[in-house]
Chain A
Amino acid sequence: GQNIDQPTEMTATEGAIVQINCTYQTSGFNGLFWYQQHAGEAPTFLSYNVLDGLEEKGRFSSFLSRSKGYSYLLLKELQMKDSASYLCAALDSNYQLIWGAGTKLIIKP
């Protein structure tokens, strides 16, 4: 079957760095997405990786290893506003998004 695994919850300190991991098993693969979702709001697009390697976008970076079925989202210089759930989603061979359950990130001062 198809499956996305990511930690349920993580805690980090303001100003620090945190890495949120995601492993996936899908029928075919056409890319890996990360979304941010604040409580009570809709998910917002953060990144898309389809090739191996690191994509950097400001304080956020996303990494993909297709051979390992693995991705991570790296958040630097954490701010209180980064407290949110981070959703990992893989695009399968039918171009359907398979969603992880999300990682709730708690930022402490």
Chain B
Amino acid sequence: SAVISQKPSRDICQRGTSLTIQCQVDSQVTMMFWYRQQPGQSLTLIATANQGSEATYESGFVIDKFPISRPNLTFSTLTVSNMSPEDSSIYLCSVAVGQDANTQYFGPGTRLTVL
């Protein structure tokens, strides 16, 4: 498995501002993922972030709104830009580890509230 930390754990932000969420892993991993989970909903994949390449975004998510950095194999950031109340959610990073790099382990999440 992997130990994953996220900062901040929670934040309350004003509409129109941006927040950068950090994800740190205790080991080198190739694949990192950013998810969003709105209350009572399942996980929605925002993008896949591999070191050394541009992040791959899922349908409905764009780089201008959710820029991602992946400077090395243990760290990634997700920025939620120009926030609106609809962005209020839990944002989770995960990493794929295991024999076939299939099993995903999650960070503790960042609870974002936009006023």
Give me the interface of A with B, judged by CB distance under 8 Å: 30-31, 33, 40-45, 48, 87, 91, 95-97, 99-102
Contact = CB atoms under 8 A, between A and B. Distances in A.
A87 to B, nearest CB: 6
Contacts, number: 37
Given A45-B1, A91-B102, 17 more contacts: A30-B102, A31-B102, A40-B111, A41-B108, A41-B109, A43-B43, A43-B92, A44-B106, A87-B42, A95-B102, A96-B45, A97-B104, A99-B42, A99-B43, A99-B44, A101-B41, A101-B42
Interface string B38-74: 0001111100000000000000000000000000000
23 contacts: A31-B102, A33-B104, A40-B111, A41-B109, A42-B106, A42-B107, A42-B108, A43-B43, A43-B92, A43-B106, A44-B106, A45-B1, A45-B104, A45-B105, A48-B98, A48-B102, A48-B103, A91-B102, A95-B102, A96-B45, A97-B45, A99-B42, A99-B44
**Range class of the B interface residue count:** 10 to 19
A95 B102 CA distance: 7
Nearest to B1: A45
Nearest to B97: A45
Contacts of A30: 102
Contacts of A91: 102
Interface in B88-115: 92, 98, 102-109, 111
The 4 tightest CB contacts between A and B, nearest first, are A42-B106, A101-B42, A99-B42, A99-B43
Contacts of A96: 45
Interface string B7-38: 00000000000000000000000000000000
